[in-house]
């Protein structure tokens, strides 16, 4: 019945670890799609390259994300999910730092390399947060997955809409976007009740 279904929703959404994991997935969604939003503006408007040129950079970023997921699969048996999550956030921070090397100019070598490193880190993060989130409700995995996906898209869409309001004219601004995203991801991981329980 509707009352039963909404009762299950209520139980799931009241779980703090699940809510923070949903936020983390939303931030991850922004992390690996942000370049698709700001990249055309940088490559086509500021640097006067073709749409095909942007497509090549987007492909490189997508391959980096794929390599992140493959790397995560290789590390599963040798590391804990906590180690993978924190290690990937270090890679995320290094990506933002690489982008900042562009400085006040638009240097695509630094920017795209940094974005690729950020995308790689999100390829590691995403499957770990997803599996961790669904493990909270093994008997209600279908409903949990639906709420997780819905929440991720709400957070992701809101974040991308805000990013669209920022005018990009230097590598510093791109680095600030990814750096802020990295800081939010680290903070949400630290505040996640599940993470604190695992740490102790």
- Residue 199 has what pLDDT? 60
pLDDT < 50: residue spans in the chain: none
Sign of CA dihedral 69, 120, 168, 184: positive
Would the pTM count as exceeding 0.85? yes
pLDDT value at residue 7 = 87
* Residue 105 to residues 47, 101, 126, 168, 177, Cα–Cα distance (Å): 11, 9, 31, 11, 15
pLDDT at site 88: 93
Residue 87: the pLDDT is: 93
Tokens of 44: 């086509």
Per the CB < 8 A criterion, the answer to whether 92 and 118 are in contact is: yes
At 198 the pLDDT is 63
């Amino acid at each position: 019945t509707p009352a039963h279904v909404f009762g299950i929703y209520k139980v799931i959404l009241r779980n703090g670890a699940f809510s923070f994991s949903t936020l983390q997935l939303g931030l991850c969604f922004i992390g690996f799609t942000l370049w698709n939003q700001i990249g055309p503006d940088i490559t086509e408007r500021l640097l006067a390259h073709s749409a095909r040129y942007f497509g090549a950079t987007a492909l490189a970023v997508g391959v980096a994300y794929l390599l992140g997921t493959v790397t995560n699969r290789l590390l599963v048996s040798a590391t804990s999910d906590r180690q993978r999550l924190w290690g990937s956030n270090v890679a995320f921070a290094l990506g933002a730092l690489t982008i900042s090397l562009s400085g006040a100019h638009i240097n695509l070598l630094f920017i795209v390399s940094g974005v690729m490193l950020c995308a790689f880190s999100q390829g590691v993060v995403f499957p770990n947060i997803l599996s961790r989130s669904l493990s909270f409700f093994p008997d209600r995995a279908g409903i949990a997955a639906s709420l997780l996906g819905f929440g991720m898209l709400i957070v992701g869409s809101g974040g991308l809409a805000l990013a669209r309001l920022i005018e990009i004219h230097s590598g510093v601004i791109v680095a600030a976007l990814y750096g802020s995203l990295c800081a939010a991801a680290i903070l949400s991981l630290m505040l996640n009740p599940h993470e604190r329980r695992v740490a102790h």
